[in-house]
Amino acid sequence: MFAHNKRLQYTVRVSEPNPGLANLMLEQFGGPQGELAAAMRYFTQAVSEDDPGRRDMLFDIATEELSHLEVIGNIVVMLNKGAKGRLAEGVDQEGEMYRAITGAGNDSHITQVLYGAGSPLTNSAGVPWTAAYIDTIGEPTADLRSNIAAEARAKIVYERLINLTDDPGVKEALGFLMTREIAHQKSFEKALYSIAPNFPPGKLAGRPEFASVYFNMSQGGPELNGSWNSGDKWQTVSDRDQQMGVDGGSGEASVQLDADDAELLNAMAARTMSDPSVDPMTGAELGMSAETAAMTPGASATGKQPPQPGTVH
């Protein structure tokens, strides 16, 4: 069960309202790398986790992320405080409010007009948060790696936001939030490596003949190799022919159909067959400009007579 205390985890001191900066901060409120995504990623894992230690950790961190959501939300709200009053009570000089709304040079207009200078669950472009951001799949050796990566990404976005403001109170609170992502990453790393083995994730082993092959699919310039594709741990395949049909087969797709299905497919094929033997008049030619026709090789010899309604083709 969740409980709430009215004090924030970290005190928020904002020097002055700035709706444009508020809008950028939304990135970590309702954005893909933000706190709701973090909280929900760990919460959904916690709820279905059977290992008691991991479950406890996941609830600990999910709950902290909810508290961070509240901190970043309060930063947004404080930065928007001036705009909120102006918007709610109206002003006489409309041109002035129009300039204020659109003057930040980013999407703060949407925050203000649609959301009343509040703290909506969108990213800084106004895109509503979606659970498509959540990559929980219910296997801990995969989910913990997802968590490690998510913390790394969140750390970076906080770093970028810190670089954007010189409000000392905002900077300080963001620094706290950024640091906590580092701490969380460390916890998830420990939890992952406490499962042994954890690679490859899951239960099925791979097929040995393909597990250490590196397909050199991008060619045509200098090849820069490293431990990721060369050395005695890798078998590199650069020959284009050997990159296809690697099972030794034809590289074709096939299915065994019964007679009825085959017949229907043939009927469809016949009905929709492209006849390569004619050069039909087309809609593009019907509508072609002289300029275009002039640059079209052979256009003056437009082949096939347009079909006459009333006859079968």
CB 29 within 8 A of CB 36: yes
Tell me which residues in 43-72 interact with a second copy (CB under 8 A): 43-45, 47-48, 50-54, 56-57, 59-64, 66-67, 69-70
Is residue 19 a contact point for a second copy (CB under 8 A)? no
Is residue 242 a contact point for a second copy (CB under 8 A)? no
Quote the least distance from Cβ 77 to a second copy, whole Å.
Answer: 5
Q: Of 127, 120, 121, 184, nearest to 155 (Cα)?
A: 184
Tell me which residues in 128-147 interact with a second copy (CB under 8 A): 128-142, 145-146
* Phi, psi at 162, each rounded to 5°: -60, -40
Give the whole-angstrom CA distance, residue 87 versus residue 89: 6
For residue 287, give both structure tokens. 């509508």
Quote the least distance from Cβ 41 to a second copy, whole Å.
Answer: 10
Is residue 104 a contact point for a second copy (CB under 8 A)? yes
- Give the DSSP letter of residue 122: B
Q: Of 8, 10, 69, 2, nearest to 41 (Cα)?
A: 69
Is residue 240 a contact point for a second copy (CB under 8 A)? yes
Q: What separation in angstroms does the CA of 260 have from each of 254, 255, 257, 264?
A: 17, 14, 8, 6
Is residue 295 a contact point for a second copy (CB under 8 A)? yes
Tell me which residues in 250-279 interact with a second copy (CB under 8 A): 250-258, 261-265, 267-269, 271-279
Give the whole-angstrom CA distance, residue 22 versus residue 227: 43
Site size toward a second copy, by CB under 8 A: 253
**Residue tagged 């928020």 (tokens):** 12
Is residue 38 a contact point for a second copy (CB under 8 A)? no
Is residue 35 a contact point for a second copy (CB under 8 A)? no
Is residue 239 a contact point for a second copy (CB under 8 A)? no
CB 14 within 8 A of CB 79: yes
Tell me which residues in 161-190 interact with a second copy (CB under 8 A): 161-166, 172, 175-176, 178-180, 182-183, 185-190
Binding-site member from 38, 197, 239, 259 for a second copy (CB under 8 A): 197
For residue 307, give both structure tokens. 């079909």
Quote the least distance from Cβ 180 to a second copy, whole Å.
Answer: 6
